[in-house]
Amino acid sequence: MAFSSWYYGMDDASALDFPCAGDGPNFYIGNIGAETEQRSGYFDEATAAKAGKAHTFAVWDVAGPNSPKKPSGMSAEDWGSAQGNAFNNALTSTTSSSQYAQYIGGLTFFGDIQPENGGWDEDNYDNNTATLFGFLDSIWGGDGEGASTAGVYIGQDFWNEYFGSNYTSQIPIVVWAAGTSCPASCSAATDEFNSTYADMVIGGYKVMIWQYLVNYDAETNTGCPGSSIDADITPYAGYQDSKWNPTN
């Protein structure tokens, strides 16, 4: 499948003009916490303001079942649920610790799963999938109109290592694929999505968002210097109705 409509976003803590989306990103995904605690310094209010509240989404770092921060005796699924509940609390504007909730109106809530978050061991499929399920079940709003959708930021290799290449998520997920490519232009980014990600399936669901690197230089946009920002591209107009819907 090849797409022709494109929407460009960011997930870095920077309010730069974004060359692929006029004077600002079409959407922004900001990190607001990890494990069971909210944190600051990974979410940029100015970037969120540029994208707009309905187009601003949140992501949470999820630790695996062998994390040293998991309380002794807690099951893997309950550990996932505890992290998802902390994420929910941070998205609730009435919670005293919710310093970023006022900027976030997007209804797809993402869990970030990568080695740096700790506790994810290769081939520990049963406990890994239990943690994933607990987290996703806590943040997923169901299938009703206006309900939130659950998303996962992950690379295909990590999915295969932690959950198995044949594992399909029990909770419907919006797949946000991690990447390290640095397309030389906006059109090169669309070409790469069409050629590499348009038909990629992770956890039983199609990739809907792809992260790549982009040049700081909005005028030339000719490559990836030593300093670069995390950018994102999607052919799905999910940000227009404040969420992406999982596609399998």
Q: Domain residue spans in the chain?
A: 7-241
Q: 91 CB contacts (<8 Å, ≥6 apart)?
A: 32, 58, 98, 101, 104, 109
Phi, psi of 189 (to 5 degrees): -65, -45
- pLDDT surpasses 70 at 82: yes
pLDDT at 230: 85
- pLDDT surpasses 90 at 184: no
pLDDT at 214: 76
The residue ranking higher by pLDDT, 136 or 183, is 136
Rounded Cα distance between 56 and 140, Å, is 17
Write out pLDDT tens, residues 93-121: 676 667 899 999 999 999 999 999 999 99
The token pair that represents 219 in the structure block: 């005028």
pLDDT at 194: 95
The token pair that represents 111 in the structure block: 């869990």
The token pair that represents 142 in the structure block: 């169901």
Residue type, 9: G
Kindly state the average pLDDT of the residues 154-169.
97
Kindly state the average pLDDT of the residues 186-192.
90
Confidence of residue 16 (pLDDT cuts 50, 70, 90): low
Q: Which CATH architecture has domain 7-241?
A: Alpha-Beta Barrel (3.20)
- pLDDT surpasses 70 at 227: no
Q: Which range (3-17, 75-89, 124-138) has the least confidence?
A: 3-17
